[in-house]
Amino acid sequence: MRQLLRNRLFWWGVLLRVGLMPFFGASYLRDMFIPFIDTAILHLGHNPWSLLPASYFPYGSFLFLVLFIPKYLGFQSLGMMSMGATPLSFILMKLPLLLADVFLLWGMMRICGERRKSLFFLYWFNPVTIFITYVHGQLDVVVMTLCFFSILLLIYRRFTMSAVLMALATLCKFHVVILVPFILAYLWHQNFAKKAMLSMASWLFIWASISIVGFQPLLHTGRFLYASTTSPEALRIFAANLNFGSGQVIYLGVFLLLAVLGRLCVSSRITDKGLLFGSGVLFGALLIGTSAMPGWYYWVVPFFCLFFALHLNVSKVLFWGFNLVYLFNFIVIPRYGAELGPLASGVMFTLLQTTIAGVLIVIWKLVVEQEARLQGRAHPLILGIAGNSGSGKNHLSQLLQDLFNIKNTLMVEGDDYHKWERNHQKWQEYTHLNPKANHLGIMASHTLQLANGSSVLQSHYDHFSGTFTNAKEIKPSKTLIIQGLHTLYLRGLRSKIDLKIFIEPHEIVRFAWKFNRDVKQRGHSAKRVVDSFVSREADSLKHIAPQKEFADWVIQYVPEKEITREEVMNGSPFGFILRYTFWNDAPIGNLLKALQELANCKISFEVSPHDFNRTLVEIQGNPTLQEIQAIAKRIFPNLRSITRAWRNPIWRDGVDGLNQLTALTLLSANTVEEWTL
């Protein structure tokens, strides 16, 4: 606020407004609003809505209070001089409008940051807002300031005060209730189910309670419906319609509003920017399908100004065209409309609505479509894990299931697509690592069907018996994990995977894991495991290792000390170092910074000496579970937008926790907003 008060442009704008305040006011202000407030002052203790017809002030109690206070103070100081449609009365009525105007500018500047200067030209000297408030004398600046700060407080996670301000906005003009379902949808996406529902219930209770209490004066006089939905002004919303006969009518304003609201509410995520500009689009959708009052156009101006202030490269032709056509419609047409004829009036109104629609389309395409996206509604998040036999694919899959909730995660296992059962003679010719020994085309087809929302029939390969089970129906899910020897082998399948992972443990580490799994868990003999390990080496180099080149994330486990196979078979323990390989533009900066601050973690990273497109990261240490959870909370402020699960992830400590954090970090590049206020 200090920066604002020190700005010369701000004071020039204040001077312009103060200069206009005493001299202008439409008939609504002169003949209705001022008499209503004056009558209430002269009849203190009476319900103001019982003193004059409802048409004199078809608004709520808070807007009445905002106008009443300066007029009452003026009456106490100056007596009857402050009454009536006089210049002094105009000033007293417009003082709270000026205050709201200043606060709205200040709030917008907080969002724009370094680009705040452009707001003086886009908003503070905007001819439309100045005309609506200080010439025409409409009150919409108060409503929009309350709405704007309610949204801003939501972004700052001040849910209680946000609900209070939205209730006060509702007690000014009832049309703001169109934001309530969208705000509830936004709150739903800000946390996991239990906390989200508590936030929604709390916000809704506060908003509804204050609104109900505030509407009591209107309810007691039977004026509530008039002030909310049945006044001639409110009924303008139903002016544009398509009549199909037999009483079947589509009201275009309501249709557009519900269509936009429905689309926004079914978003798979709603970011802070999506909430802000989605609200502007909602007001715009209501506006372009109605016979709007002059003051109603104020509803979209703050959002338009913010958009063009934040997107400097976007042409402002439509925006300034809207300003020009608006002034022509509400200054020239009322005065010279009879001479110009109905055609000119209709053309200008069409141009006005068209310019608004044009700006709304630009905002939708450049902002809302990305920040309130549908991604994941029709298609699942697809993770692909490839690697040699015994490399830890199953274990990593389980860690990822813990993140995304096992109920919402489907695993496609590459082993289920082997061509033959264990004792088939064909295994004398091929190893499991050979693509010819697997139905890779069927695996890709099933994956694509599941990604498109269709179920498939597939058998499961039982590693204990070495046989296939009967085929059963597999249904799609929110998250799809494909793990197997050849997950990244087929180009078409690779292109559909959101995060491609390749696990490449050091040979001795892989041998230790494979030996432990096949001997202790699957009942194989030690000799068979050793023979299998050796016999598959050629196919591993030929068919498995090359897949690493396509991975977004390569995981390597390197032993801390030299150890032999014999020592592994005898159960000798050993530790290992974790090495990651990423593309050089992977968004890992925040994660590495957080890990570097841990006392028990040593981090090093460098450009790959073999490929400058790759970044190598080496991690030594085992973070505790509490440290993993603290890092997750710090770098993923809205974790649900990534996991899309109803509950919190199940976190692990040590290397497992590091893998979980890394997976979410890489996925966050496409799901988490980068917009700070």
Could you tell me if 479 and 380 are in contact, meaning their C-beta atoms sit under 8 angstroms apart? yes
Owner of token pair 């598959």: 536
pLDDT (average), residues 527-549: 81
Model pLDDT, residue 533: 65
- How many structural domains compose the chain? 1
Percentage of the chain exceeding pLDDT 70: 94
In a domain, 190, yes or no: yes
For the segment 3-33, what is each residue's pLDDT rounded down to a tens digit?
788 888 899 999 999 999 999 888 889 999 9
Give yes or no for residue 450 having a pLDDT over 60: yes
Give yes or no for residue 672 having a pLDDT over 60: no
Which residues, listed in sequence order, are joined to residue 605 by a DSSP beta bridge? 617
Residue 211's nearest CA partner among 246, 245, 179 is 179
For the segment 545-586, what is each residue's pLDDT rounded down to a tens digit?
999 999 999 999 888 777 776 776 766 666 788 999 999 999
Length of the chain: 677
Pairing of strands 249-251, 241-243: antiparallel
Identify the band that residue 670 occupies on the pLDDT scale cut at 50, 70 and 90.
Answer: low
In a domain, 449, yes or no: no
Distance CA 420, CA 461 (A): 10
In a domain, 557, yes or no: no
In a domain, 503, yes or no: no
Minimum mean pLDDT among 308-322, 338-352, 650-664: which range? 338-352
Model pLDDT, residue 673: 45
CB atoms within 10 A of CB 115: 15
Provide the whole-model pTM.
0.84
For the segment 175-224, what is each residue's pLDDT rounded down to a tens digit?
999 999 999 999 998 888 889 999 999 999 999 999 999 999 999 998 88
For the segment 276-303, what is each residue's pLDDT rounded down to a tens digit?
999 999 999 999 888 888 999 999 999 9
In a domain, 500, yes or no: no
Mean pLDDT estimate for the chain: 89
Could you tell me if 159 and 262 are in contact, meaning their C-beta atoms sit under 8 angstroms apart? no
Could you tell me if 558 and 506 are in contact, meaning their C-beta atoms sit under 8 angstroms apart? yes
Range of the domain at 361: 2-371
Could you give the maximum distance between any two Cα atoms of the chain, in Å? 108
Could you tell me if 660 and 403 are in contact, meaning their C-beta atoms sit under 8 angstroms apart? yes
Model pLDDT, residue 407: 87
Owner of token pair 């809205």: 638
Give yes or no for residue 620 having a pLDDT over 70: yes
In a domain, 71, yes or no: yes
CB atoms within 10 A of CB 45: 5
Which residues, listed in sequence order, are joined to residue 241 by a DSSP beta bridge? 251
In a domain, 321, yes or no: yes
In a domain, 671, yes or no: no
